[in-house]
């Protein structure tokens, strides 16, 4: 029987045990949430590997608690009580706070600058930044700062979730004035970069915002599996070896994944378009 994975850790602490009834009830709710049809008792028992009698008892309890609704044809759908939890989660979640919390615990990238942004039209707005002494000498990221999304790592990560048509509509009058000789110059070139971003699963700003600085970015997803924020790490381009580059990319993707989990993303379903 497959146990639910903790989205914020790779493994359970030694000796940690799940309460069977709670674990099974959660698996039932997860399955009902993910399936495209309304499952019945037999479907749940078969798909989850739980005895039908146990599924019946659990579903009856979940219906009484308004966590499930039993439909006239004896199938199940999610109940209204879940909305209370969803609304409370949305009110209590703060991506900037969670970003700071993760940074304070561990980043795995000493000496790097890490930033958090949100998208506003064709620009990204920086809502949190931890500047290193090295990158600070070339560009000072600060909360409230705005930069063209087309040039930044987090901006490219956001834009990669748009269709080509939506990107062309956003830049119907062309791209902003380049910031450096390396800044992407045409919409067609930007679309190629976004295609590569989707294929890789992370974005790159190779000296497009500031000469000498290379940035790697990834998206933070919300409960709809859509980007709510972007995280990026910035370092001196000339000092990044291939092995360091791979480690940095793995770390920034790990941070984005952990933030996404805390924002309610369904990581089993999350994928770039």
Same domain, 162 and 222: yes
> Which DSSP string corresponds to 22-48?
HHHHHHHHHHHHH-SS---HHHHHHHH
Q: What is the mean pLDDT of the chain?
A: 83
Predicted pLDDT at 4: 36
Q: What is the domain count for the chain?
A: 2
Q: 219 vs 7, 29, 243, 271, CA distance in Å? A: 16, 27, 23, 11
- The DSSP symbol for 216 reads E
Q: Model confidence over 214-256: pLDDT tens digits?
A: 999 999 998 888 998 999 988 888 877 888 888 889 988 988 9
> 26: domain range?
20-90
Q: How far apart are CA 201 and CA 256, in angstroms?
A: 11
Predicted pLDDT at 244: 83
Which of helix, strand or coil describes residue 118? strand
Same domain, 48 and 114: no
Predicted pLDDT at 105: 60
Residue that is last in its domain, among 71, 90, 109? 90
On the question of pLDDT at 56 being above 80, the answer is yes
**What confidence category does residue 114 fall into, taking pLDDT thresholds of 50, 70 and 90?**
confident
**What confidence category does residue 110 fall into, taking pLDDT thresholds of 50, 70 and 90?**
low
Structural domain includes residue 32: yes
Which of 224, 229, 209 is closest to 265 using CA atoms?
224
Q: How far apart are CA 152 and CA 216, in angstroms?
A: 9
Measured in residues, the chain has a length of 273
Contact 124, 154 (CB under 8 A): yes
Percent of the chain with pLDDT over 90: 49
Predicted pLDDT at 121: 84
Predicted pLDDT at 12: 43
Predicted pLDDT at 270: 59
Residue that is last in its domain, among 36, 71, 90? 90
Among 147-161, 188-202, 258-272, name the one with the lowest average pLDDT. Answer: 258-272
Q: How far apart are CA 259 and CA 273, in angstroms?
A: 20
Predicted pLDDT at 91: 52
On the question of pLDDT at 166 being above 90, the answer is yes
More confident residue, 3 or 250: 250
**What confidence category does residue 1 fall into, taking pLDDT thresholds of 50, 70 and 90?**
very low
On the question of pLDDT at 8 being above 70, the answer is no
Structural domain includes residue 214: yes
- Give ∠ CA 196-141-99 in degrees, rounded to 5: 75
For residue 48, the domain's CATH number is: 1.10.10.10
Determine the average pLDDT of the residues in 139-143.
Answer: 78
Same domain, 77 and 158: no
């Amino acid at each position: 029987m497959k146990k639910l994975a903790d989205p914020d850790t790779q493994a359970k602490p030694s000796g940690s045990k799940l309460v069977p009834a709670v674990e099974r009830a959660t698996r039932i709710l997860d399955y009902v949430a993910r399936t495209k049809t309304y499952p019945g008792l037999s479907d749940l028992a078969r798909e989850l590997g739980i005895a039908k009698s146990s599924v019946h008892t659990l579903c009856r309890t979940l219906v009484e608690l308004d966590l499930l609704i039993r439909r006239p044809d004896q199938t199940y759908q999610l109940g209204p009580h879940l909305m209370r939890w969803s609304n409370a989660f949305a009110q209590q979640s703060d991506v900037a706070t969670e970003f700071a919390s993760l940074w304070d615990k561990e980043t795995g990238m000493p000496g790097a600058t890490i930033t958090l942004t949100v998208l506003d039209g064709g620009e990204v707005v920086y809502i949190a930044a931890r500047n290193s002494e090295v990158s600070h000498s070339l560009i000072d990221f600060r909360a409230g700062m705005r930069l063209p999304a087309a040039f930044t790592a987090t901006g490219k990560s956001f834009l990669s979730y748009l269709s080509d048509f939506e990107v062309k509509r956003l830049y119907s009058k062309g791209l902003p004035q380049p910031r450096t000789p390396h800044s992407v110059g045409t919409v067609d070139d930007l679309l190629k970069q976004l295609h590569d971003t989707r294929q890789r699963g992370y974005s790159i700003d190779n000296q497009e915002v500031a000469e000498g600085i290379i940035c790697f970015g990834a998206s933070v997803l919300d409960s709809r599996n859509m980007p709510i924020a972007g995280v990026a790490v910035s370092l001196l381009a000339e000092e990044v070896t291939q092995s360091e580059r791979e480690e940095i990319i793995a770390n920034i993707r790990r941070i984005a994944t952990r933030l996404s989990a805390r924002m309610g993303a369904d990581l089993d379903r999350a994928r770039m378009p």
